[in-house]
Amino acid sequence: MSDTVKDPIAHLRGKLGEGATVAFVSGIFNVLHPGHTRLLRFAAELGDILVVGVLPDSAEGVSVAAELRLEGVMSNKNVTHAFEIADPIEDVIAALKPDIVVKGKEHEKQHNPERAAVAQYGGKLIFSSGEMLQSSMSPLDESDEVQGAAHDILPRDYMRRHGISVQALGDLARAVEKVNVIVVGDIIVDEYIDCDPLGMSQEDPTIVVTPISEKRFLGGAGIVAAHARGLGAKVTFLGVVGEDEAGAYASKMFGDYAVECVLVEDESRPTTVKQRFRAAGKTLLRVSRLRQHAISEEIAARLLAEIEPRLDETSLVLFSDFNYGTLPSSFVARLTELAAARGVMMAADSQASSQLSDISRFRNMHLITPTELEARMALKDQTSSLVVISEILHEAANAKNVIVTLGGDGLLIRAEHDGGLVTDRLPALNRFPKDVAGAGDSLFCLTSLALAAGGDIWCSSLLGAVSAACQVSRIGNTPLTRDVVLGRLSAANGGGGL
């Protein structure tokens, strides 16, 4: 073992004293993503020093030069020292003698040469992928430099890795107008009731308010269709409503948004309405008026009869599932079969909040975009690393591309490339959001449209991330327009136009 490894560790031990605890992590680290950050944070919490070994460029799966990977690892605030590994891992551990070696939880049942190495001197081997938190990244963890103002940023390193220019993004955004898309899913009408708080009831401990204003918005799969139309695509929406005023409102809004719609009335269910009672900018209570049973076979057949003749002129089908019964598995399977037979691209998003979801039931999609919670829920796996979760989901759903959305931590992209799977990440492009409502919808919509317009997954994902940044810069989930996206790209390009 060369002194290039031993000397820095000896120096660190001497600096902190012989009693200092050293934790060690090794890996490829092509792109430092939130899964890595969780692992590094967990390892750092176990010791006084965190040392990271980066596998050499010759290792399987490496796609970024060691110099850049080391730079990315050292940008993490938890890492004390990092070096390139040039020897078998057991030899490295024997030389360093770290007190604790940490590996991802998914490795626990595999062969681990580190186990015998640590046993030789009484070290410990611990398996954990870290904890799933609301935000795993901090500004010090960001490996991608950004350009522009806080609300007009683009990731330079990501764009370099994939050869993307701002002009190419603008051209792809314009190409969306060539896409004919069918959107199918659950309609939701969102109601916001602003109230004046009057105080506490004298009879019981209840807050008393009086309504002062009410606003309505088309939500659920309906707003996905409206986003698609605003972004320039030709859109047909198909869904189910009740025989009620909320259903009539949804129909009117589709007309206002220039979206062709086919709404089948279901007398067994009301149109889903979600009410939010708010005071002083805070939500006091949410009330959901809905039925969650699956649509009948008769209604499913009526929807399929409307969709099938349209498929020959369709380039993209979007499944926008809120798990309120419009997309039962038998209906999804039949529509998938019909679309695949005609070579129509498909993408799916299955949202979960108070209800359960399973994104993996949408099979053979070109793109699926679950949140981390939704991905773990589908796989019943709360412990594996993010990359492993995305890989298992990719296989379970037979999806060509998987984007796991991570809120303020951005996106993890798992995509097919040159016969294998490649992982990359995008940071959140708006660091100061005003309202996160609709971020996932706009990302799912524009990424899918861009793929259907001929973009690759890397350029399409970035364009989708830009749309999400635009969406969260305003209040309310209202339709995004192509001009807004192009304006944001122009601003990030120094205002020089596209």
Give 98-119 as a DSSP string.
-SEEEE-GGGTTS--HHHHHHH
pLDDT at 16: 56
pLDDT in tens, 323-338: 999 999 999 999 999 9
Give the residue, 125 or 137, on which the prediction is more confident. 125
CA quadruple 45, 47, 49, 51: dihedral sign: negative
Inform me whether the pLDDT recorded for 131 exceeds 70: no
Average pLDDT over residues 187-210: 87
CA distance 79 to 43: 9
What is the structure's pLDDT at 209? 87
pLDDT of residue 68: 87
Q: How confident is the model at residue 145 (pLDDT cuts 50, 70, 90)?
A: very low
CA neighbours closer than 13 Å in the CB half-sphere of residue 77? 8
When pLDDT is cut at 50, 70 and 90, the band that residue 132 belongs to is low
The pTM assigned to this predicted structure is 0.82
122 — phi, psi (to 5°)? 85, 20
Matching residue, tokens 């699926």: 368
Reference 228, options 257, 207, 202; nearest CA is: 257
Calpha distance 108→127 (Å, rounded): 6
Residue range 466-482, pLDDT digits in tens: 999 999 888 777 899 99
Name the pLDDT band for 8 (thresholds 50, 70, 90).
low
Whether 15 shows a pLDDT value over 80: the answer reads no
Beta carbons of 273 and 184 less than 8 angstroms apart: no
Taking a C-beta distance cutoff of 8 angstroms, is the pair 338, 182 a contact?
no
* Domains recognised in the chain with CATH numbers: 3-143 (3.40.50.620), 147-492 (3.40.1190.20)
pLDDT higher than threshold 80 for residue 268: yes
**By C-alpha distance, which of 236, 377, 399, 261 is closest to 314?**
236
Among the ranges given (24-33, 142-151, 195-204), the one the predictor scored with the smallest mean pLDDT: 142-151
Give the pLDDT score at 497.
Answer: 64
Contacts of 102 (CB under 8 A, 6+ apart): 23, 24, 25, 39, 42, 43, 46, 126, 127, 128
Least confident of 38-47, 224-233, 427-436, 461-470: 427-436
